[in-house]
Structure formats: C-alpha cells, structure tokens
Copies of this chain bind each other. A is one copy, B any other.
Amino acid sequence: MKQIDVCFTPDLLHLHTIENTIVVVADVFRATSCMVTAFAYGVKSITPVATIDECRLLQERGYMAAAERNARKVEGFELDNSPFTYMNEQIRGADIAMTTTNGTLAITRSRGAVKVLVGSFLNLDAIANFLKTEPYDVMVLCAGWKGRVNLEDTLFAGALVDRLKDNYAMAEDSAIMAWRLYGQGKDNLIGYMSNASHIRRLQRLGIQKDITYCLQHDLYDVIPVLRGNALVGMEG
C-alpha cells in the first residue's frame, strides 16, 4: 500500500527522503490558498522566490509581483497576499513572482521530489483524486510559521490523510496526529482554530474574510504543480 506522511514544518524536512515521493505543500493562511485561487482565475505561472530582492528583480522583468512578510504586504508590489487580490480579470495569463514568510520557502525546499503540488482546502478534492491515480508515496509538507508547527496547515494535512485513508497507509505518528485533529475539528474549523496563533495574528490584521474563504473545501479543480522554477496550473 502507498504511504502518506506528514512533515509538520520545513525544519523537520531533513528527517524525510522525498526523492520517490510526491510532496504537497500547504500554507493555508494564505500563500497556497492564494496560489490555487490565482490559477483558478487564469494565471499562467507563479514563480516562488525566497527573497524580496529576487521578487523585485522579476517584477522589473515584467512579472506581476506579490511579497508578504509577517502576514503583511510589502510596499512596492502590486499584489497582496489575500486570495481576493487574485479574483481579477487583470491577472488572466499573467506571470507572477511571489515571496512569502513561509509558503514559498516550503515549495522551493521541496525540489527533488517526484512532483511538488500546491495544496489548500480550496483544491483538496482535486489533489486527493489526482494522488489516487499516482503510484508514489505522498508527503504533506506543512509550511508552518518560521519553523514552528501550526494548526491550520496540520488540519489540511489531516484532511488529505482522511480523503486518502482507503488508498494510503499513515506512515508515522505525525499523519495520525494530523488526521485525528482534523477529525475532531472538521465540523467547525473556524471555532476549532479560534485560539490558534496565526488566526489571532490575522484577526489583529482584520482579515476574517480571508480566513473564512481559505477554509472552504473543494472550490476549485486546479492543482498548481512545480515545473522547473515556476508553478503552472494542472486540472485535477
């Protein structure tokens, strides 16, 4: 039976071998939810970069650009880190450069995997259905917060474990833990997360609307997948 593993944070990636594995990166609030939304609205590519300087460089070459640090938009970039930014005719066909506190790093560190997919609750079912047709083991890489584990990405991992539990064995306790937490919280994810650190951080910034949006399941069929240095959209 294929195995599904969960890595709670990029700071534990050294414990995992990903060469023969499909990695699903999740940064639910909000980077990967933005990416999925962007592809659903017709973006052509998203290039994740590590630094604000690299992002600016690509912007100068004609990319639309988004930069976020500590959950806030960085000055001088046209796109925000809110998914609502991407619900916009202007972005159809665009090449986007993006750097975020956690999510883009998690993607670039996953190079070396068989495939790197971008996951969120918004495309959960598309991801699950695609994986069922693949012969490889799966690892969900939670982006976390500056190396720390967080609840929302773990819950996404648990949701994917739940959708795949008839097709994949849980590799380690982290998969069991994520699955248990999702089972406990799934009927009221917002209430369940009410005391989580990033929820409080986002609420201080007044973006409850984004939280509600990012927790919706199965809104889009698109799966962003890494090709070379850029993500492109693949229909699930």
Contact = CB atoms under 8 A, between A and B. Distances in A.
A115 interface: no
A11 B8 contact: no
Interface residues of A, number: 28
Query: Chain A: interface secondary structure?
Result: helix
10 contacts: A12-B147, A15-B146, A151-B173, A151-B176, A151-B177, A172-B197, A176-B196, A177-B181, A180-B181, A180-B185
A180 B176 CA distance: 13
A148 interface: yes
A215 interface: no
A142 to B, nearest CB: 10
A100 interface: no
Nearest to A151: B173
A154 B173 CA distance: 10
